[in-house]
Structure 1
């Protein structure tokens, strides 16, 4: 599945063939699940596109169309409608614009009938703190792809104002010294397992 799907998705992306990408992405999520689609196809393809842009200095339009197709496929996964404690609050660091990894996590949690909310991109520190206090999630996970963005996350304040389990994800946290109360799942699967271990599912 993976090799042929990657080849087809990448070729469609380079042609800006949005209908084909939407069809492929949707089928991958429906037939194989979010984790398999993300790890085997979406993430490698987006990585290849990023490397292409860095190498030739063009192709941002390819990245944008591919990302949009992945996002649309992830958002087709039905959200849980049950009542219960919010298992996860997903947020980016202040000024962080990359939200696709959080969307993949959210869609994966939906497949597990897990309650979650996302605050989206470029979440100010105050907004994140206020949301944690209001929603009281079991786990709060913050994504950052660069260290300078990760540095803007008020980990100590979040810990002081709530009993939520704090977790961070993304390459921006690599090499940073983190407080003992912060978890850092290294993969999508690890992040899912962390949330499920602290949820009421």
Structure 2
């Protein structure tokens, strides 16, 4: 996003340049805002958000006032406001007036062209998150994620805001090759940061009965199967457990079998959640070994409830002795029941 003060070096360049060079070209404006030049041109063509002053035969030059209108447009669209409404509000906010009528866009056309993410029918927060991620607008991504977690809680924020945006980026990446890796990496990092902020912060109980104070509650052990690098669902689970005041131990990505089994015996968890994104990593034999783990003295030995979670565990082929919930909400409920029974 553009900052309020002009860059000193840029200001000096503008002052020393000839009259026709005053202001920034479209490419420079797009770079400052974190959008593509195509998006800027599209907004000008469709919604009348363009330089207030233009001279025939000269390239477009954007003044600070013009850039402020574009900045407002970016901020509003990132918050889920439809582009047409955002344009009218941005122009009105700067005292420009209403956008002039423009020729209708070609059928199926969207502001930003092919850079737009197709997120489908989702909450406005998710649509705004996807737009901010494509612009690499980290401050806006942080703001949206923070408000979503605070207002909705970890489970709903993950299910209705974070996950649909991540999936849309993944589809775009798969279709366009390496072009959208930077978007996926930025969004994933900030999603992880938001979830970890809840998981390691002060416990907040949003739902479920209070944890009985008269006995210790065994922790939940969270781990990805060997070779599995995707951990955001585990981090969402950790955040949801923290909101309910339930203890957990996060082992994270690609935990080797020996390390996993050793951790189960040492910790004595009330429940173990094993995440698998890819069917190639869904090791049923390993799950059976975890189910067979026990600890404690004879006569009072314990064993964990085991959840095999994720698309890697094929439907109809659930490992024996395990639970396989299909949603984060269901998984968290089962984990809570396992450690508070």
Range into which the TM-score falls when normalised by the shorter chain: over 0.9
1:182 to 315, 318, 322: 322
- C-alpha separation in 1, matches of 2:284 and 2:321: 17
Bigger Cα Rg: 2
Q: Does 1:75 align with 2:75?
A: no
**Contact 1:94–1:153 (Cα < 8 Å) also in 2:** no
Stretches of structure 2 lacking an aligned partner (at least 5 in a row): 1-79, 81-121, 205-212, 295-302
Tell me which residue corresponds to 2:126: 6
- C-alpha separation in 1, matches of 2:175 and 2:218: 43
| Secondary structure of 1:33 counterpart | helix
Q: Does 1:117 align with 2:258?
A: no
Tell me which residue corresponds to 1:62: 183
Q: Which has the higher contact order (CA 8 A, sep 6+)?
A: 1
1:156 to 276, 284, 288: 288
Q: CA deviation at 1:177?
A: 2.7
| Secondary structure of 1:59 counterpart | helix
Tell me which residue corresponds to 2:75: none
- C-alpha separation in 1, matches of 2:219 and 2:254: 22
**Contact 1:89–1:139 (Cα < 8 Å) also in 2:** yes
- C-alpha separation in 2, matches of 1:79 and 1:186: 28
Q: CA deviation at 1:179?
A: 3.6
TM-score if structure 1 supplies the norm length?
Answer: 0.93
* Structure 1 runs, 4 residues or longer, greater than 4 Å off: 79-83
- C-alpha separation in 1, matches of 2:135 and 2:128: 11
Q: CA deviation at 1:180?
A: 2.8
Count of residue pairs the alignment pairs up: 201
Cα RMSD over matched residues? 2.0
More strand by share: 1
Q: Does 1:46 align with 2:181?
A: no
Q: Does 1:168 align with 2:308?
A: yes
- Tell which deviates more after alignment, 130-139 or 50-59: 50-59
Tell me which residue corresponds to 2:90: none
TM-score if structure 2 supplies the norm length?
Answer: 0.56
**Contact 1:97–1:121 (Cα < 8 Å) also in 2:** yes
| Secondary structure of 2:221 counterpart | strand
Stretches of structure 1 lacking an aligned partner (at least 5 in a row): none
| Secondary structure of 1:171 counterpart | coil
Q: CA deviation at 1:178?
A: 3.3
Tell me which residue corresponds to 1:91: 223
Q: Does 1:25 align with 2:145?
A: yes
